[in-house]
Amino acid sequence: MSELTTHNSIQGIRSAIGAARVKGKRIGLVPTMGSLHDGHLDLVRAARANNDVVVVSIFVNPLQFGPGEDFDAYPRSLAEDQQKLGDAGVDLLFAPGVEAMYPDGQEHQAEVRLPSLTQILCGEGRPGHFDGVGTVVLKLFNICTPDNAYFGEKDYQQLLLIRTLAHQFDFPTRVHGVPTRRADDGLALSSRNQYLTDEQRAKAPLLQQTLQDIAHGINAGAKQYDRLVQTGKLALRAAGFDVEYLEVRDAATLGEAGATGDLRIMVAANIGRARLIDNIGVER
């Protein structure tokens, strides 16, 4: 395939992917909510490197937004996104409307739930969010039947959730995590960075700096993570962040950090209209 073809219906994308499948092509899927930035394009590049046909989905999924969250305000830029995807060598774009994805209505949609992973960290502040994410991603896996699917490590909890769901529901899809793309000053790229004023944008790299400081402390031998975390929270609050959580967790489960095993330092904080998340790993 060469030029980007856009499909809005499930039937349309299924038959395009089916036609590639019968020719023995390997399918790579990059699920997104659009408003694409270089972080998304890293996912596309990873997919392009290992698949014959690259499918990107753009769907702002109402099921993963809570009441009062930014579903209506979430940036949408389909024409620009199509241009970027065409330039990046994507073959198929699946851009359904809400009625196509939830024909029985959102309130009647069956949902997948994995409480042990979805009610902690981001799941505490955003009840139901990950049920909506898991549900839409499994629908996308059923629709697109990908051999490989690509997700950013910036959404680390989401990545673990999707890996676990794919495994527990016996999908043959391999779920790949792609390292977080950052601006030169360290801020993780996110579509929600558009909500930052200039003043808030100047402060935003402190999030990544705080994670790095904690990682340095751990690498230097600190055992009392709570102290490092408290110092980090104070620094963030002093700069005007409303810290939702800042935690050192076990990297494999996001449960409590034990004496061994890799760690993941996780943060979510609000500044102005923007809710920012970030995380980094510490190998042990």
Residues 6+ away with beta carbon under 8 Å from 256: 249, 250
What are the φ and ψ backbone dihedral angles of 184, each rounded to 5 degrees?
-55, -30
CA of 184: how far to CAs of 24, 145, 174, 189, 282, in Å? 41, 36, 31, 10, 21
Catalytic residue among 7, 37, 40, 176: 40
Query: How many residues belong to the site for ligand PAF (CB under 6 A)?
Result: 10
Would you count residue 276 as binding ligand PAF (CB under 6 A)?
Answer: no
Token representation of residue 122: 């981001």
In the list 61, 118, 173, 200, the residue contacting ligand PAF (rule: CB under 6 A) is 61
Least distance CB 134 / ligand PAF (angstroms): 9
Distance, CA of 141 to CA of 156 (rounded, Å): 19
Residue from 7, 20, 31, 265 that binds ligand PAF (CB under 6 A)?
A: 31
| Whether 216 is catalytic | no
Report d(CA 265, CA 217) in Å as an integer. Answer: 12
Find the helix or strand (DSSP H, E) in which 99 lies: helix 98-101
* Least spacing, CB of residue 215 vs ligand PAF, in Å: 24
Q: State the Cα–Cα distance between residues 145 and 256, nearest whole angstrom.
A: 34
Hey, which residues between 147 and 186 contact ligand PAF (CB under 6 A)?
A: 155, 158
Q: Using alpha carbons, select from 262, 254, 264 the residue that is nearest to residue 123.
A: 254
Which H or E run contains 80?
helix 78-87
Which residue number, 155 or 247, has a Cβ lying nearer to ligand PAF? 155
Of 28-36, 104-112, 114-122, 195-203: span binding ligand PAF (CB under 6 A): 28-36
Binding letters toward ligand PAF, positions 242-271, x by CB under 6 A: ------------------------------
Q: Which is nearer to ligand PAF, 133 or 282 (CB)?
A: 133
Residue 32 binds ligand PAF, judged by CB under 6 A: yes
Cβ proximity to ligand PAF, 248 vs 278, nearer residue = 278
One residue of 112, 137, 196, 207 binding ligand PAF per CB under 6 A = 137
Nearest residue to 267 (alpha-carbon basis) of 155, 130, 167: 155
Provide, rounded to whole angstroms, the least separation between the CB of residue 154 and ligand PAF.
8
Residue 217 found at the interface with ligand PAF (CB under 6 A): no
214-219: list long-range contacts, CB under 8 Å, 24+ apart: 214/248, 214/265, 215/265, 215/280, 215/282, 218/248, 218/263, 218/282, 219/282
Residue 131 is a binding residue for ligand PAF (CB under 6 A): no
Q: Where are the beta strands (DSSP E) in 49-89?
A: 53-58
Q: Is 136 in the site for ligand PAF (CB under 6 A)?
A: yes
Catalytic positions are 40
Binding footprint of ligand PAF on the chain (CB under 6 A) = 31-33, 61, 64, 133, 136-137, 155, 158
